[in-house]
Amino acid sequence: MPWLVDEESVEVARRFTELKLSLMPYLAGVGEEAHTDGIPVMRPMAVEFPRDPATAGIATQYALGPDLVVAPVFTADGTVDVYVPEGRWTSLLDGSVLVGPRWYRQQHDVDSLPLLVRPGTVLATGERVDRPDRDLREGLVLRAFELTDGQHVRVSVPGPVGEEPGVIDVERRGRTLHATASGVQRWSLAVGTGAGLQATNDRVVLDLDRA
């Protein structure tokens, strides 16, 4: 119980709890994949990047589902080495970009760690960070990271037991992102960690030059 330690512990626990709750639409989908296909939520790097020989021996970081990489901090001074596979990877916490393939040495405080989003990802996040037992299809923020021209991504967000998932299709066309959704309520589309553009009539077009 962090409140028995000090106020800083409370704030750190709050920050990471709210981060997890914001990621519940993504984590629920990954959990469903683990149930149906047997692919674990926490995956060795080599599972997601089998063609990158550098990932074979990495035991200090992992893939959290197909689209996130996490490098826990094990040192007292916050120093951590993180391997970044090929492409432009974005920190979900501060929006900074790391280009791979290469190793980086970083230093993090108690309220931070390397949490990187894979290029070409549309990450399903949620506005609500107060409770996990909610309809994850409501209040979605779809965050697009480094989509290439012509790329199409389909995102599925599980609904309550017995109900159909929400489905969102996102496609990059030149300097715009086009998204359509079905089975979701009150959703928006964003570029990276920026603010989202609210959808109208289950459809939104986002200008990358203005995002």
The CATH number of the domain holding residue 92 is 2.60.40.1180
Q: Are residues 126 and 207 in the same domain?
A: yes
Distance of CA 16 to the CA centre of its chain: 14
158-168 pLDDT tens trace: 999 889 999 99
Instruction: Write down the mean pLDDT value for the chain.
Output: 95
Q: Are residues 208 and 136 in the same domain?
A: yes
88-136 pLDDT tens trace: 999 999 999 999 999 999 999 999 999 999 999 999 999 999 888 899 9
Q: Are residues 32 and 46 in the same domain?
A: no
Q: Are residues 47 and 126 in the same domain?
A: no
211, pLDDT greater than 90: no
pTM of the complete model beyond 0.85: yes
Tally of structural domains, the chain: 2
8, pLDDT greater than 90: no
Q: Which of 118, 133, 150 is the last residue in one of the domains? A: 118
Q: Which domain holds residue 78?
A: 41-118
Task: Give the bridge partners for 206, in sequence order.
Answer: 177
pLDDT at 209: 87
Distance of CA 195 to the CA centre of its chain: 15
Q: Which of 55-69, 74-88, 196-210 has the lowest mean pLDDT?
A: 196-210
Per cent of the chain over pLDDT 90 is 87
Q: Which of 118, 144, 171 is the last residue in one of the domains? A: 118
Q: Are residues 211 and 127 in the same domain?
A: yes
Reported as a pLDDT band with limits 50, 70 and 90, residue 191 is very high
Q: Are residues 51 and 70 in the same domain?
A: yes
164-186 pLDDT tens trace: 999 999 999 999 999 999 999 89
Q: Are residues 95 and 165 in the same domain?
A: no
Q: Are residues 58 and 142 in the same domain?
A: no
Q: Are residues 35 and 45 in the same domain?
A: no
Q: How many whole angstroms separate alpha carbon 132 and alpha carbon 168?
A: 21
Q: Are residues 85 and 164 in the same domain?
A: no
Q: Which of 65, 83, 118 is the last residue in one of the domains? A: 118
Q: Decide: 153 and 169 in contact? Cβ < 8 Å.
A: yes
Q: Are residues 130 and 188 in the same domain?
A: yes
pLDDT at 131: 85
Residue recorded with tokens 């496609």: 171
Distance of CA 21 to the CA centre of its chain: 12
Q: Are residues 95 and 54 in the same domain?
A: yes
